[in-house]
Structure 1
Amino acid sequence: MSTLVTFAPLVLAPALAPALGVVLVLVGDALAPRRAGARWPLPVAAVVLVVGAVLAARGSFGVEAEPLRSLCLPAPGGACLWTAGPRTSSLQAGILLAAAAALALLHDGRPRPRDGAVTAALLLAATTGGVAVAAARDLGTWVVALELATVPVVALVALRGSRGAAHAGLSLLVTSLVSFALLVLGVALWLTATGDATFSSATVTTAWADPQRRAVLVLAVTVLVSGVGFKLSLVPFHAWTPQAYAESDLGTALFLAAASKLSALAALLTPVAAFVGAGLDAPAVVTVLAVPAVASLLLGTVVALRQHDPVRLLAWSTIAQAGWVLVPLTALDAAGLRASAAYVLVYAAATTVAFAALGRIGARTGTRTLEGHRGLLRRDPLAAGPLALALLVLAGLPPGVVGLVVKILALGSPVAAGVWPVAVAGILAVVVGIAVYLRWFAVLLSAPTAPEPARPGAGRSTTAVLVLGTTVLALTSALPHLLLGGLG
């Protein structure tokens, strides 16, 4: 009987770290329930995530042609079920760090989580799924890991305890179930078309040569993009996003906006990479990717322009940014894969800074409207300065140069491939997006209208996320090759 012949714990460590963290937190809570208070599991979980990110980052400096592999089946022809090249490793590190930032905001949030062990365990479990799906190359692990990255977040949303949070959690649960059904159907169609239980370029090439199997494969890609589209907040699968963000704690909303989006894109890159590796001319697949990309770009930016709640604005921004990460994939080439990964990493970093700034601003002012941010660059530069930089990165304006760089890379791929409708939609989205973010920036820059009431400041964890996130944005804006060099 065939057995697995390779098991490399260090290669699997980015997923093993948060998985072991779940065990550590739950066992610790069982042995000493409430003895150390409800707050200790959150910093412990954050430390575990940072360790996992360090272990993942070591793969970012390798070569795409020589990825880290584990769980390889016996030769000849044995596939490796876990494959992590530089691009995958960078996305894994991003997922882990975004989850750690979410924990920091949850730790400092008001009200704090009523059960820190449950909150930490749920977030660690979702992170385990996100990291695993990035490297999974077999259909079964890919589906299960992607759903693991989603289901615990449903509970995190509902744990806030309000009626709105319960409704948002129910909406997210229904969305997750529909998404899971589509993903199962998609992998079944993929298996039917290719006869292979892995995402292999070789079997894609063989299936594409047969017209009947090609039709089934195109249908498989359509269903898979739809299933992942729910996780990525692509139009028309986006309806849950604004409510879930607005009704969640800021830490949970950050996890949805950054870690979950990194996980979803990492999942989508796997089947797309199979087509890229096959080197096929596949206009039907381009169309499947282009339609939700264009719809998300245009709808997300236009509706974001009308928002007055900064969290809802960021939610609609997420929808627009989901379109942006699909834009380079429409080229179906290696440069597009790299540009998409670079874009989502920059988006996640900027969004993390924005949410951390909102955490500090909310703690000091008690407000959650754009008007309440008036004059904050003068009143609270430690919060408003990083927020302003994050907005400029999202808009692609100096000094947020890294945002401009990834937008150019994203648009360059469809232009080079001749996918002009997507490129034109991207240019329109850039123009409207500048208006979205400069509107917020102008409020920060304007004169304050009233003195700020005295309130307790933000906690140290939120401040640390602000400082570290701003440092990352500043360094990558000054030296963009630091980011691009880690993507293979």
Structure 2
Amino acid sequence: MNIRIDWMPLLPVLIPAVAAVLVLVIDAIVPRRRVVHFVVAALALAGALVSVVPQLLRNFDDPARSLCQPDGGCFYVIDSVGAGLQATALLAALVIVLLALPVRISASSTVVQVAALLTTTAGATGVVAARDLPAWLVLLEIATVPTVVLVAVRARRTAVDGALNLLTTSLVSFAVTAMGVAMWFAASGSATFDNNTVLAAMQTPETRRILAVSLMLIVAGVGFKLSLVPFHAWTPEAYAGASTPMTAFLATVSKIAALGALLAVARPIAAVGGSTLVAIAAVAGLSMTVGNVMALRETDTLRFMGWSSVAQAGWVVLPLATASGGAEHAAASYLVIYVVATLAVFIALTAVAHRQGRAAVTDLDAIAGLGRRQPWTGVLFALGLLTLAGLPPAVSGVLAKVAVLQPVAGARQWLLLVVAAINAMLGVAVYLRWIWRAFTSCGDVPHRTLRAHPVHLALTVIAVPAVIVVSLAPQYLFWLVD
């Protein structure tokens, strides 16, 4: 088979993948060079981010293509939405690499951590553009399996428990997704996510039913990775077990990979409609409700962020419950805003944990008084939570919720709209509770207080005005996925 390869669109995937191998080679030749590993990772992610720029500047109707067959079909297609998700994933991974740099772990564990992080990022950037079933499934697992290592690398009991929970869930989700992919092939006779094959499979009742079941299985398998209810049980445990920077990675890059994988089947889901759309609507409503209710009673900071991730995942998939043409843009826009807000929260938490110890950010009482002790960090923490809550002055959070509600209102799904509105109000209580404690309560000053690490200080100083700018002018973020 004669396949045409355009290397430029593949660079966001290839650069992190090659860097992961390079880190392992460097460690084999010159072991225990911890800083070198992080420098290689940072440079690779920055280079991959630059390579996405040409794709971001292309029109939506003119996607970049690679791995194309003579008949015109391509196995790798990256449109503006996919390029925006790739850029967001790479930027998030770069920030997390910088956050993890000052966090001391054993030199032997550092190379494993950095290689796993780069491998996962490569999978996340690849799965959003994969259009053939084998590559899509493999890249989705590449974006998932190494996260088990990232959780377990702390080598504490909570980390091991969280890693085992995540590993078990990953195996189950892979089995469910693989079964869905097999049924897709059986129904459509095609190994690609192609609308024409979907329309052909819908012509007969038998293949139509098989196709609907296959899509439900694929949604369920990806739902495990996106932390959708009822596939969410691993989330709070894994978040609480991982180190703070790696928890940020789970909450951002892994979610981008999951949504990118889900968007690959978004158009077929809309074409099949019926019970598949109802299932997504039910999962979205349940995720928002369960996530908010559990977050409202949670006092552990990282578990709270886990439940927040469950609730936010419901908002992300909400527009996909409609057959609207703008559903993909709305879901991607919301995810970009969510990633920025989550990174802001974790930059603040990591900076505090490094200065005062992990115990300083593990529960609600420890967060008390943060805004008074460290105003700059407290402001960043509050801005991130306000964006997640969708409250002014974080205008980007408000517009993100409006964006995902528009397709639902346009499809006249009034029950789902009411559930979303109730959860929007419930989410306000969830996040304001933590902001209130951070600025109005005076917690005990931790015994350990170190000087802020220059890297964490620089990230905080950069992040505060950056979050303010995108909060007041969210069009700069929405442009990524337009």
User: How far 1:112 moved relative to its partner?
Assistant: 6.2
**1:356: which partner in 2?**
347
The range that moved more, 45-54 or 281-290, is 281-290
Tell me, in whole angstroms, the C-alpha distance in 2 between the residues paired with 1:173 and 1:449. Answer: 36
Cα contact 1:383–1:466 (8 A) shared by 2: yes
Instruction: Say which of 242, 248, 256 aligns to 1:254.
Output: 248
TM-superposition CA deviations, 1:93-146 (whole Å, max 9, x none): 111111122222221224466532221111111111111101000000000000
Matches of 1:266 and 1:471, distance apart in 2: 29
Amino acid at match of 1:322: A
Flag structure 1 segments of 5+ consecutive residues without an equivalent: none
Contact 1:40 1:116 in 2 (8 A): no
Read off the aligned partner of 1:58 and give its amino acid letter. P
Instruction: Kindly state the Cα deviation for residue 195 of structure 1 after the two structures are TM-superposed.
Output: 1.3
Alignment correspondent of 2:46? 50
Aligned residue identity for 2:20:
V
Structure-to-structure mapping, 1:168-207, within 5 angstroms? 168-207=162-201
Where 1:334 maps in the other structure, the secondary structure is: coil
Matched, 1:3 2:13: no
Shift of 1:281: 6.6
Tell me how far apart the structure 2 counterparts of residues 165 and 452 of structure 1 sit (CA, whole Å).
Answer: 23
1:59-84 CA-to-partner distances (Å, cap 9, x unmatched) read 12221110010000112xx3111100
C-alpha contact (below 8 Å) 2:9/2:65 kept by paired residues: yes
CA deviations over 1:206-253 (Å, ceiling 9, x no partner): 212222111011101100001001100111111111110101111111
Which structure 2 segments of 5+ residues have no match? none
SS of residue matched to 2:400: helix
Distance across 1 between alignment mates of 2:39 and 2:379: 26
Report the equivalent of 2:412: 418
Corresponding residue number in structure 2 for 1:313: 304
**Could you tell me how far 1:330 is from its partner in structure 2?**
1.0
1:396 alignment counterpart: 390
Check 1:211–1:290 CA distance in 2 against 1; reply closer, same or farther (3 A cut): same
- Cα deviation per residue 1:245-273 (whole Å; 9 max; x = unaligned)? 10111111111100000110010011013
Whichever residue aligns with residue 325 of structure 2, its letter is A
Alignment of 1:193-232 (within 5 A): 193-232=187-226
Over aligned residues, Cα RMSD in angstroms? 1.6
CA distance in 1, matches of 2:207, 2:470: 44
SS where residue 33 of structure 1 aligns? Answer: coil
Among the aligned pairs, what percent are the same residue? Answer: 39
Aligned to 1:162: 156
Q: How does 1:313-392 map to 2 (within 5 A)?
A: 313-366=304-357, 367=360, 368-392=362-386
Mapped contact 1:350–1:469 kept (Cα < 8 A): no
Q: Secondary structure at the match of 1:108?
A: coil
3-state SS of the aligned residue for 2:61?
coil
CA contact (8 A) 1:127 1:149 kept: yes
Q: Is the 1:182–1:223 contact (alpha carbons within 8 Å) kept by the matching residues of 2?
A: yes
Contact map agreement 2:367 2:443 (CA 8 A) in 1: no
In structure 1, the residue matched to 2:61 is 65
Secondary structure at the aligned position of 1:39 is classed as: helix
Q: How many residues are matched?
A: 479
CA contact (8 A) 1:234 1:293 kept: yes
CA distance in 1, matches of 2:225, 2:466: 26
- Give how far 1:39 is off: 2.9
Deviation at 1:322, TM superposition (A): 0.7
What is the letter of the counterpart of residue 47 of structure 1?
Answer: L
Match of 2:460 among 448, 462, 466: 466
Report what 1:432 is aligned to.
426
Change (3 A) 1:198 1:465: farther
Cα distance 1:449–1:479, how it changes in 2: closer, same or farther (>3 A)? closer
Q: Deviations over 1:339-370 (max 9, x none)?
A: 10000111111111111111112223331222
On the 8 A contact 1:113/1:160 being kept in 2, the answer is no
Distance 2:399 2:108 in 1: 42
In 2: Cα distance, 1:469 partner to 1:112 partner = 29
Normalising to structure 1: TM-score of the pair?
0.95
The change in CA–CA distance for 1:213 and 1:470 in structure 2 (over 3 A counts) is: farther
Q: Is the 1:113–1:119 Cα contact (8 Å) retained in structure 2? A: no
Paired letter, 1:180: F
CA distance in 1, matches of 2:444, 2:269: 57
Letter in 1 for 2:373: R
Alignment of 1:480 onto 2:474: yes
The change in CA–CA distance for 1:29 and 1:111 in structure 2 (over 3 A counts) is closer
Within 2, Cα distance between the matches of 1:432 and 1:153?
Answer: 31
1:471–1:14 Cα change, 3 Å: farther
Equivalent of 1:41 in 37, 41, 53: 37
- Change over 3 Å in CA distance of 1:157–1:113 after alignment to 2: farther
Q: 1:298 to 1:376 in 2, by over 3 A?
A: same
Q: Is the 8 A contact 1:356 1:463 kept in 2?
A: no
Q: Identify the match of residue 296 of structure 1 among 278, 282, 287.
A: 287
Distance in 1 between residues matched to 2:449 and 2:96, nearest whole Å: 23
Cα separation, 2, equivalents of 1:57 and 1:380:
36
Contact 2:366 2:444 in 1 (8 A): no
- Does the 8 A contact of 1:204 with 1:274 survive in 2? yes
Q: 1:191 to 1:449 in 2, by over 3 A?
A: closer
Residues 14 and 218 (structure 1), Cα distance of their counterparts in 2 relative to 1, 3 Å cut: same
Q: Secondary structure at the match of 1:81?
A: strand
The answer to whether the 8 Å contact 1:157/1:169 transfers is yes
Structure 2 letter corresponding to 1:14: P
| Contact map agreement 2:341 2:387 (CA 8 A) in 1 | yes
Change (3 A) 1:361 1:103: same
For the residue of structure 1 that corresponds to 2:75, the secondary structure is strand
Pairwise CA distance, 1:332: 2.2
1:168–1:240: 8 Å Cα contact kept in structure 2?
Answer: yes
Shift of 1:387: 0.6
TM-fit CA distance, 1:33: 1.4
Q: How far, CA to CA, are the matches of 1:256 and 1:290 in structure 2?
A: 24
Give, in angstroms, the shift of residue 486 of structure 1: 2.4
Which segment is superposed worse, 251-260 or 108-117? Answer: 108-117
Structure 2: distance between partners of 1:468 and 1:225 = 37
Where do residues 77-92 of structure 1 align in structure 2 (5 Å cutoff)? 78-92=72-86
Partner of 2:115: 121
